[in-house]
Structure formats: C-alpha cells, structure tokens
Structure 1
Amino acid sequence: MNDDRNARVWASINAVAQEEGARVSVRHACVACSRSITAAGAGLSMTRDGRLHEPVYATDPLSQELEELQFTLGEGPCMDANAGDRPVLVPDVASAWAERRWPMFAPAIAERGIVAVFAIPLAAGAARLGVMDLYRTRGGLLTREELAEVLTFADAILMLALEHGDGDTGLDDLFAGDFAERRAEVHQAAGMVAAQIGASIVDALARLRAYAYAQDQRLGDVVAAVLARRLRFRPNGRSDGGPPDDGRTTGPRDGPAGEKGGEIE
C-alpha cells in the first residue's frame, strides 16, 4: 500500500512538471499536493541555518498572502509545526481553540475565506528544513488516507529540496524565488531597526511585526517606511520613568498616515 501511494504521489508530481515541460521541482510537488486534497493552495517556508523560517514559495496569490501574514504576525500553524516538529491540523480556524491559539492570525485568515489549515513539517532526523501549509475553503480534518498522502508529498518535497544539482530543485533556487526581494528588504529593515534600538535582528524583527499589527499595516509597507527613513524606532523603555514601550509604539509622537508611535523624519 505504501509503495502504491509513493508511486502515485511521484506520478502526480511528474504530471505537473510535464504540464510545464520542466524538470521536476519542489514547486511541482507543492502544486500536486494541493490538488491531491482539493486545497485552495499551498505555501512553503524554509530555513537555511536552522533558525528563522521564511516564506519561499506559494502556489497562488492568496496562499502567498497567507504565508506572508504568518511571517508578519509571528504566529500561526506554520510556526507551531516548526517549533513542535509535528503536523498541526486545524479543521476550523474560526473555532474558539484556534482563536485562542492564534488571536491575530485565526480571524485574519477566516476573513479571507479560508476555513481549514494543515501545516506539515519537512524534517528528516535532526534536520528541520521547513513547513508546508495547505489551505482549504471547506472545514474538516484530513481523512486518514489524505493525511498519509500529504505526508508522502512532504517526504518528496524534502528529497527534492535537498538535491544539489543543476536545475531548480535545490535550496538556492527556492530562496531566490518569488519571495526573495521582499525577504531581502525585511532583513535590511530589521538591521536598521536593530541599530536604532540596540537589539538583535530577531528582536528588531519582532518590533517590526508588532508595529505592523498595531497599525493594521502589511509588514512590507512598514519595511518600506523604514528603508525610506520615514519611520524610526527608539530603544525599549523610557529614560523619564514612564511606562515601558511594549513594542507596539516606537516613539512619543504621531506620524502621518496613521503611523502613530513612529518617529517620522
């Protein structure tokens, strides 16, 4: 049975690649997996250094937005699947449990018409490479057979991602894909904020995320403001003994266009 499933999975991946007339790649595996369970789309986040996971691929614009949303908010099934190294299966994002677990992400994704999310780690032993997210517009858990098939797709994606040859199956190509420019801008902005607040890149990214959420802005818009030097952040805490900065405000005065708490130059 396992051999049959494995053969079926690889046949479906090859079929997607043949539609493009291209060599089999991680992209094709994500598309094939999404189709196999009639998902609305799939997204992939990965890491090169075992630390920060970042979105690297999405099958469609909505999935791309949802991958960026998890990265912006710093919460969601993808984050939990990576931290716990186990699948996180959410049959209803509007459930009380999901809203308690992800108070920002759950309602935001529900507003976009997604009902169920399945986050599957891509790991082999101690090597944790990333997480695949599958988004559905209908509720309910995966059946036992669907879950087994998704896990087989995850193994195939891991195998393709670890290939280091010519073509577009390797990690370098994934990290140079659609998300590359935005990812580079986020890192650059985080570096600037880290210098402004005297903190690490990780803490600076958390401040950027918190600010974007508090101002109801996309992380990319906040990053653009930082890079254009229209928005600066101040160190945590105040020297005058006032209440400490909770990371959602970054200065004593309001800025234009709703940039409250930012220091605008």
Structure 2
Amino acid sequence: MERVEQNRGARVWGAIDAAARIDGASPSLRYAALACVEALSALGAGLSMSPDAGPYEPLLATMPDVGELEELQFTLGQGPSADAIASGAPVLAADLSGFDAVNRWPAFAPAAARHGVRAIFAFPIGAGAARIGALSVYRRQPGPLGGDEILDALVYADAVFVLALDGRHGLSADLDQVIDAAFTARRAEVHQAAGFVAAQQRISVTDALALLRAHAFSSGRPLHLVATDVMARRLYLNGDQHGVSADGSGDPPDTDPDPPGARNPDKQESEQAENEEEDER
C-alpha cells in the first residue's frame, strides 16, 4: 500500500512538473491546479486560501467561469469550498441541481448551474489543525468521482500545501508571485472598501464586509465591482437599509429639499416679488 501511495505521489508531482515545463517555469500553485484539472477531466479548478492568516478568499482560478464561482462563494459565504475549509474534510457535490445541494447552498447551487457547472469537489489544504484553504475542482457533468480520482485529488491538495509553505516561515514569502495578481488586487480592494464603509457607517469591518456582500448579492453584481464603486465614491451603502444611493461623492445623499437646479415654484415667486420691489425703489 505504501508503495502504491509513493507511486501516486510521484505521478502527481511529475504531472505538476510537466505542466510547468510547458511554460518553461517552476512548479507552482497554478500548475498544481492545472495538472489536477487534467487528471480529473474537469472543467477547471480554483484555490481559496488565507495567505496572511486572515479570512479565506479566492486567490486563483484556471478559467474565468471558475473564478466567478469562487468569487461568488466568497460573496455569499456558502458553497463547497467554504464548507471544506470550515470542516477540514472533502465536500463532494456530485449534482448541484439535486435537492440536497440546493437545500444546502440555496443561493450558490442555482448560480453554479447557470454557469454550466453541475458538480464541484472541494478538498481542504493543510495538515492537522493547520488549514490554509481549499482546492476545488469543477465539472460540467454531474456524477461522483471515482475512488482513484479522489485519492489523486487529495494528493494534489497536499502538493498545494507543500508549494504554499516553507519549513521556516509558514506561508511562503513568494506566495504572491504564484497566485493570480488580479485576484490579489480584487481582494485588496474589497478589504479597503470594507474599511471605508466601516468608518463611514461607524460599524465593524466584519459588518461592513457583510454589507458589501449583501449589496453584491441583491444587485447581482460581482463583489469586487461593488467595492470599486465604493472606493471611487460612486456608491454609498446605507447600513440601515442595505441599500445604495449614488450621488457622485460617496457621501450620504443630499437631504437639502431644494438642491441646486431644482424648480421650486414658491421660491421662484418669492424671488420675483423681491426683484419687483427692488425695481420700484
């Protein structure tokens, strides 16, 4: 049995190395995800991780649709990846249109189906209590993974753990160089927007992030675009209503009952009378 596992590990690392050598690069998280997609005949794969011991966030996806669904799980706070991270155990959603999946993830499962994804298999990344994220594999067709496929995926998750860590300093200082720069920028903007809303509404950053997520979900817009509008002051989030008012400044909407340019008949009549009195004088 040990020999079989050694062979499996050698095969997985060989596949990661081969994927990297196509681009003349060294093995990295991206190539581990790409090799896993190939091994499991999947549509794509995504990594959600915590590079700075903070919240788990989507950091890498092998294709745009997968990236959107990884983002959506972060926005909604639900989905196989989130559950795998929370439980520390694989979450195998073989049919996202089934009753169990829809009942478990009522917002995420239908959204995944609209993206043409019918199955997601999420594997925690870590060892023991040291959990740093999840590797999630996406398929267009429903159906379970085979036993060997599950074992392969677990080894790929272990490979991601090794690639993300070094023996001396925990998470590698080079992690930002092997994850998608676009994801890093988006996450930074989301957290900046949460801090901005927290100061604006005098609430905690956690509550501000929940407010951003609520607006993203209700408006059907990606979370990072909502954050962009908040930081550009095109969007003002009202903590009481979870709504939004746009006034071009990011400040609360102008409550002046007679803003510039508005036509107020009573005011116009009063001004006209004053002008006539001036003329008579």
TM-score, L = length of structure 1: 0.86
Shift of 1:200: 1.8
2:261 is matched with none
Shift of 1:43: 0.4
1:78 is matched with 81
Indicate conservation of the 8 Å contact 1:231/1:264, yes or no. Answer: no
In structure 2, list runs of 5 or more residues that go unmatched.
255-281
- The residue type equivalent to 1:192 in the other structure is F
Q: Aligned runs of 1:55-94 on 2, under 5 Å?
A: 55-94=58-97
Q: Aligned runs of 1:1-265 on 2, under 5 Å?
A: 1-163=4-166, 170-174=174-178, 177-236=181-240, 245=241, 249-250=242-243
**1 CA distance for matches of 2:88 and 2:16?**
25
**1 CA distance for matches of 2:19 and 2:147?**
24
Shift of 1:163: 3.2
Q: CA RMSD in A?
A: 2.2
- Equivalent pairs counted in the alignment come to 245
My pick for the range that moved more, 67-76 or 89-98, is 67-76
My pick for the range that moved more, 98-107 or 48-57, is 48-57
| Structure 1 stretches of at least 4 aligned residues deviating more than 4 Å after TM superposition | 262-265
Could you say what secondary structure the match of 2:31 adopts? helix
Shift of 1:119: 0.7
In structure 1, list runs of 5 or more residues that go unmatched.
237-244, 257-261
Could you say what secondary structure the match of 2:166 adopts? coil
Deviation per residue, 1:162-195 (Å, 9 max, x gap) = 1389xx9942324562311111111111111111
My pick for the range that moved more, 110-119 or 70-79, is 70-79
**1 CA distance for matches of 2:10 and 2:212?**
45
**2 CA distance for matches of 1:206 and 1:163?**
33
Deviation per residue, 1:198-246 (Å, 9 max, x gap) = 222222111111111112222122112211212223344xxxxxxxx4x
TM-score, L = length of structure 2: 0.81
Deviation per residue, 1:96-130 (Å, 9 max, x gap) = 11111111110001011001001111011221111
1:241 is matched with none
**2 CA distance for matches of 1:120 and 1:86?**
7
Indicate conservation of the 8 Å contact 2:187/2:224, yes or no. Answer: no
**1 CA distance for matches of 2:44 and 2:229?**
30
**2 CA distance for matches of 1:222 and 1:10?**
39
Deviation per residue, 1:116-145 (Å, 9 max, x gap) = 001111011221111111000011111111
